[in-house]
């Protein structure tokens, strides 16, 4: 599993998003920092770390920083593995619509593709596992959302993302689609596989220290954006995956586990221009209204 390291790419820096509420002189900054410092002191009081243990923790954070590249953000991985990404997400997205879940560390800008495109542009398409993913983007009242942007990314059938695998062409198994006039979308791909999170860095060090497995259940990532609606970041999980109940990133939500139904109907094979029988996956993304 140590070969899950990202391709070596120079660190591009992580400027982050500019948030008005965390500017240096804002009350929110003071609230966040004061609470963080108080909880860290409570941690020290409770666990009484030795100076060597405290230094080990600081060195761990330094190593995590050294593992970050343009394609790999080790702190997102650590946040995912500790359940904090999922916790923040749950508290921030409790409105109507499709459940959201963590973004994960493998999102990169996707190539624009047409509706119906084959997004599996590497050798995985020849290996089979053909899948059609289709549905409609709607609002919370069921109204179609024409022109919604659908950003999808996934691992291949061997559990690898393009940024981890020199054999995959850049942008493989990624797409930026635009929903049609009826809110409809569809794409052709391969069935993803469960996969281990990268364990060659501090994330793996953390899992080993906690005696936890590194596996995530098979899934397709999606981010949906449309004017007037709240952006949605979510996953579509493959029903029946053995890791659904023990996702290393705590990302599984009710309502996001989909049957990959086998379709052998020759008429459907022809209609979707598939090479043979395929998994037919239907999912409607339901967006919550934008916050005022």
Q: Which residues in this chain contact Fe ion in the complex, by CB under 5 A? A: 104
104 versus 171: smaller Cβ distance to Fe ion: 104
**Least distance to Fe ion, CB of residue 36, Å:** 28
Q: Helix (H) and strand (E) counts for the chain?
A: 7, 12
**Least distance to Fe ion, CB of residue 219, Å:** 6
CA–CA distances in Å: residue 239 to residues 67, 134, 236, 244: 33, 16, 9, 8
175 versus 274: smaller Cβ distance to Fe ion: 175
Residue nearest to Fe ion (CB): 104
**Least distance to Fe ion, CB of residue 70, Å:** 18
Contacts of 100 (CB under 8 A, 6+ apart): 89, 93, 232, 233, 234, 253
CA angle, residues 272, 218, 64, in degrees to nearest 5? 130
**Least distance to Fe ion, CB of residue 275, Å:** 25
Q: What is the rounded CA–CA span in Å between residue 228 and residue 151?
A: 18
Nearest to 190 by CA among 238, 268, 120: 120
104 versus 198: smaller Cβ distance to Fe ion: 104
CA dihedral sign, ordered 259, 177, 168, 234? negative
135 versus 159: smaller Cβ distance to Fe ion: 159
Q: What is the rounded CA–CA span in Å between residue 43 and residue 47?
A: 6
**Least distance to Fe ion, CB of residue 42, Å:** 34
139 versus 201: smaller Cβ distance to Fe ion: 201
């Amino acid at each position: 599993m140590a070969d899950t390291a990202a391709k070596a790419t120079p660190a591009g820096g992580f400027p982050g998003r500019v948030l008005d509420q965390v500017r240096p002189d804002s009350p929110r900054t003071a609230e966040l920092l004061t609470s963080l410092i108080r909880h860290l002191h409570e941690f020290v009081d409770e666990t009484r770390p030795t100076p060597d243990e405290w230094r080990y923790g600081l060195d761990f954070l330094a190593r995590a920083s050294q593992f970050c590249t343009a394609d790999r953000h080790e702190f997102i991985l650590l946040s995912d593995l500790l359940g904090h990404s999922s916790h923040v997400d749950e508290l921030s997205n409790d409105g109507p619509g499709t459940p959201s879940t963590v973004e994960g560390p493998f999102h990169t800008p996707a190539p624009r593709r047409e509706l119906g495109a084959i997004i599996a542009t590497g050798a995985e398409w020849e290996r089979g596992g053909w899948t059609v993913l289709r549905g409609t983007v709607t609002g919370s009242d069921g109204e179609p959302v024409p022109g919604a942007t659908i950003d999808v990314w996934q691992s291949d059938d061997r559990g690898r993302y393009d940024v981890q695998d020199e054999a995959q062409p850049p942008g493989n198994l990624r797409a930026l689609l635009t929903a049609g006039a009826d809110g409809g979308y569809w794409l052709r791909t391969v069935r993803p596989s469960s996969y281990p999170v990268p364990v060659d860095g501090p994330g793996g060090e953390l899992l080993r220290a906690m005696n936890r497995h590194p596996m995530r259940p098979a899934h397709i990532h999606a981010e949906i954006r449309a004017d007037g609606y709240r952006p949605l970041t979510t996953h579509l999980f493959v029903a029946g995956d053995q890791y659904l109940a023990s996702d290393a990133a705590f990302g599984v939500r009710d309502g996001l586990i989909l049957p990959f139904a086998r379709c052998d109907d020759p008429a459907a094979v022809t209609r979707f221009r598939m090479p043979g029988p395929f998994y037919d996956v239907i999912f409607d993304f339901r967006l919550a209204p934008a916050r005022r």
